A = this chain, B = another copy of it.
């Protein structure tokens, strides 16, 4: 099959009267740099990256935003986001963000962190940034596993779940129970907004986007720390197809980590 065939094949249904600028309703944001994402097929990281960039573009705050990437699969987040970014040491994103926000209080700062990064090695930094009520957004990608290092147990791994370091399933009597860090930090007075969303369906993607937007608004109003926990998949390390992985989110993750607001600012309760 040669290249000509291919193009023809893919475009035979294209409606030339619809695909014009006038009728454009959705395109990816300009701030999402147009190169291949290194993520595995179907990985939720890409969706959340895009949503962040959509919100930042739509709110027109590119020149105000500074992002902090973690160590984890999303370590390269800065390769895709056309904004100023810093790459933090594993677990220290909220400390780095504290450093940034304290010297640039008028800017909008967010961290983007995985469950290993935020809830294992970075526990102290997470708790204390939240407790100080650092006025930034923490985007917390909970995929119940260490993605980047190939699938070890995370603090959020479900009981019984098989990972490379729990080859016989997570035994809570040895490794403890999954850590619901969102519920924990929600109790800290400095924290203004904690919500749990997912990106495994279009509706949930929409809700996640709304949460991100809200969080930036709260930050503009100096309300304190916002944390958005996004349940995400890791098809590669869960050893599933992307579709199976989304089913797993629906059937296993959400029952354990229920979606919805965990804390909202007082006046909105």
Contact = CB atoms under 8 A, between A and B. Distances in A.
Interface of A: 120-124, 127-128, 131-133, 155, 172-177, 179, 183-184, 187-190
Contacts of A175: 132
User: Which 3 residue pairs across A and B have the least CB separation, nearest first?
Assistant: A132-B176, A123-B124, A124-B124
Given A123-B123, A132-B176, 9 more contacts: A123-B127, A123-B128, A127-B127, A128-B179, A132-B175, A133-B176, A176-B189, A177-B189, A183-B187
A193 B123 CA distance: 22
A129 to B, nearest CB: 9
21 contacts: A120-B128, A122-B124, A123-B123, A123-B124, A123-B127, A124-B124, A127-B179, A127-B184, A128-B155, A128-B179, A131-B179, A132-B174, A132-B176, A133-B176, A172-B190, A176-B188, A176-B189, A176-B190, A177-B188, A183-B187, A184-B184
Identical chains in the assembly? 2
Contacts of A120: 124, 128
Given A121-B124, A123-B123, A124-B124, A131 B188 contact: no
Given A123-B123, A124-B123, A183-B187, A155 B176 contact: no
Nearest to A190: B176
Q: Is the interface of A mostly helix, strand, loop or mixed?
A: helix
A189 to B, nearest CB: 4
Contacts of A155: 128, 131
Nearest to A181: B127
A57 B249 CA distance: 52
Contacts of A177: 131, 133, 188-190
A205 B174 CA distance: 35
A192 to B, nearest CB: 13
B184 A187 contact: yes
A125 to B, nearest CB: 8
A185 to B, nearest CB: 9
A17 to B, nearest CB: 58
B183 A131 contact: no
A131 to B, nearest CB: 4
A192 B128 CA distance: 24
Contacts of A184: 127, 184, 187
Contacts of A172: 189-190
A255 B133 CA distance: 23
A217 B121 CA distance: 32
Nearest to A185: B184
